[in-house]
Amino acid sequence: MNFLFVALGGALGSVLRYFMSLVIPKVAGFPWPTFVANILGCLCIGIFSGLFLKCDSLSPNLKLFLVTGFCGGFTTFSTFASENLALLQSGKFGMFIAYALASFVLGVAACAGGIYLMGYNR
């Protein structure tokens, strides 16, 4: 049954990621759709994680659906790695550094922000 929750969440996340690739343009070769999906995915996983840390009564199945399934299907780290490699191979070193660092820093900040928004403070 756990696989079903992960699969359904993953399908929803993947479809949303695909939709974003259709509506968010790449500008000057910068992979904005993947960047936005990764940052939003980090925020979502932070919000969901904060919610589950704060509320012990929530179903473990809901966590599988939202965190493992939806966020796993929505975020695009493998695509992120491939796009970084393409930037390196095309000699766009500045764009590579900007994309990699901004994704990492803003992703971690968005995740922490999501936990904070849910009112979980350690």
Q: Is 107 annotated as a binding residue?
A: no
Contact 79, 99 (CB under 8 A): no
CB within 8 Å of 18: residues ≥ 6 apart:
none
- CB distance 49 to 117 below 8 Å: no
* Residue 76 annotated as lining a ligand binding site: no
Task: List binding-site positions.
Answer: 72, 75
Task: List binding-site positions for Na(+).
Answer: 72, 75
